[in-house]
Amino acid sequence: IKKRAVSCPAFRGHYTFRHGSTLVVAEHEGGVIKPPSLSALAAATCLPDPDSSVSVLLAGSGPSLHQAASHAASSYPSISKVLVADSDKFKNPLAEPWAKLVHLVQHSGGYSHIFAAANSFGKNIMPRVAALLDVSPITDVTGISDSNTFVRPIYAGNALCTVRYTGASPCILTIRSTSFPALQKSVDSNEASISQVDLSTLDEDLGRSTYISQSSQGDERPDLGNARVVVTGGRALKSAENFKLIEALAEKLGAAVGATRAAVDAGYVPNDLQVGQTGKIVAPELYMAFGVSGAIQHLAGMRDSKVIVAVNNDADAPIFQVADYGLVGDLFEVIPELLEKLPEK
Ligand code: FAD
């Protein structure tokens, strides 16, 4: 049995061994696999299989696709095969062409399980893949007990549900990346095979959606979903102008900025910064919450953070129930003091 590369959440007791192979649908950027997809890969290695065979599907066009394929094939011993779909049709993560691609790859590969990250990429594509394959997907998986039994949060993360998959093959899963540490590169070199997906039989009709544009926060701050430190502000900031205090602190700490839905709804910051049930799920090393009450919908997005620091002027605020360090105080005094005392970057 291969040595496990990652700790597998919710694995308890004995495995029921399966016979099959796994496909991971992955995103890449700058010639490497993106961290959420590395978490999906890590989850795939948690499936019990003495002959575990994990293939990764990378698609797109241009040199960075091939760079990502070589990097994946040589860096991660858990990967046995890299499938490359080189076409402009997959340059952007539109659900319709990508779902047809995964359907095609499944048709030739006969995988028992198909994984993707439960981020906007996976959430967009995998339900459509499941519909094309006429199976029911299991979404937002946080733990793997055996090849058919998975754990996923329900009721905004207030309860964990153990689900047994009894449907036809393949079992389609999206993985909550904060529950599976990204697959680590190995110091030993790996030699996974790289093969091109034969796209000659791909359906010509690739759907009605058209890619228009994508905008993001910019490169100067870490991505909220993967940042090691997140500084979040709530309604108590009172204005977009005051929210700059949160941004200044994040800047000093090299952190990503997060916000509650109340702060987003009040227009202090754009909604891609929202953390919570209807925002992003984060689990950084350090999560700092300023003027955040700790509503369950917010906790659903950050309660897995390693260390939680909360500053709130109400000693009874629910955020203190999950905080490792709590300070009852006025954020308009605490943040300027922190800014003054923290060393320059
Ligand atoms: P409040 O609850 O108003 O809390 C402000 C806090 O700031 C208070 O605790 C107060 O004591 C403290 N405070 C005030 N002044 C100061 C000061 N000067 N210094 C220090 N502390 C101060 N919310 C999310 O965040 N993310 C989600 O994804 C999300 N999804 C939702 C989905 C649904 C279906 C629903 C119904 C709600 C959702 N919400 C979500 C909203 C959620 O219920 C809360 O309303 C929201 O999280 C509250 O945001 P807040 O903590 O900023 O504001």
| 3-state SS assignment for residue 326 | strand
Rounded CA gap, 62 and 45, in Å? 29
260 ligand 1 Cβ < 6 A: yes
Closest CA to 324 of 289, 296, 298, 297: 289
Instruction: Check the annotation: does 275 bind a ligand.
Output: yes
Q: Which of 238, 257, 293 to mutate to test the pocket of ligand 1 (most atoms within 8 A of CB)?
A: 293
301 with 292: CB under 8 angstroms?
no
Ligand 1 centroid, distance to 235 Cα (angstroms): 6
282 ligand 1 Cβ < 6 A: no
Instruction: Check the annotation: does 277 bind a ligand.
Output: yes
276 ligand 1 Cβ < 6 A: yes
Instruction: Check the annotation: does 295 bind a ligand.
Output: yes
Atom of ligand 1 nearest to the CA of 277: 28
326 ligand 1 Cβ < 6 A: no
| 3-state SS assignment for residue 193 | strand
pLDDT in tens, 181-194: 999 888 777 789 99
Question: Cα 217–308–222 angle (5° rounding)?
Answer: 20
232 ligand 1 Cβ < 6 A: no
Question: Cα 191–195–200 angle (5° rounding)?
Answer: 175
Instruction: Check the annotation: does 184 bind a ligand.
Output: no
Model pLDDT, residue 218: 61
Q: Whose CA is nearest to atom 52 of ligand 1?
A: 234
Helices (H) and strands (E) in the chain, counts: 9, 17
How far the first Cα of the chain sits from its last, in Å, is: 46
pLDDT by residue for the chain (345 residues), tens only, comes to 233 445 566 544 444 444 469 999 999 999 999 999 999 999 999 988 656 689 999 999 999 999 999 999 999 989 999 999 999 999 999 999 999 999 999 999 999 999 999 998 999 999 999 999 999 999 999 999 999 999 999 988 889 999 999 999 999 999 999 899 999 888 777 789 999 999 999 888 878 888 998 776 666 788 898 899 999 999 999 999 999 999 999 999 999 999 999 999 999 999 999 999 999 999 999 999 999 999 999 999 999 999 999 999 999 999 999 999 999 999 999 999 999 999 876
Tokens of 251: 């800047």
Atom of ligand 1 nearest to the CA of 331: 19
119 ligand 1 Cβ < 6 A: no
pLDDT in tens, 103-124: 999 999 999 999 999 998 999 9
317 ligand 1 Cβ < 6 A: yes
ipTM computed for the complex: 0.99
Which residues fall within 8 angstroms of residue 218, CB to CB, at 6 or more apart? none
Atom of ligand 1 nearest to the CA of 332: 18
Model pLDDT, residue 232: 98
Ligand 1 centroid, distance to 292 Cα (angstroms): 5
Beta bridge partners of 86: 60
Q: How many CB atoms lie within 10 A of CB 223?
A: 14
Q: Whose CA is nearest to atom 18 of ligand 1?
A: 330
269 ligand 1 Cβ < 6 A: no
234 ligand 1 Cβ < 6 A: yes
Model pLDDT, residue 3: 35
141 with 46: CB under 8 angstroms?
no
275 with 259: CB under 8 angstroms?
yes
Q: Whose CA is nearest to atom 37 of ligand 1?
A: 297
Instruction: Check the annotation: does 276 bind a ligand.
Output: yes
pLDDT in tens, 186-230: 877 778 999 999 999 988 887 888 899 877 666 678 889 889 999
Locus of tokens 């058919």: 148
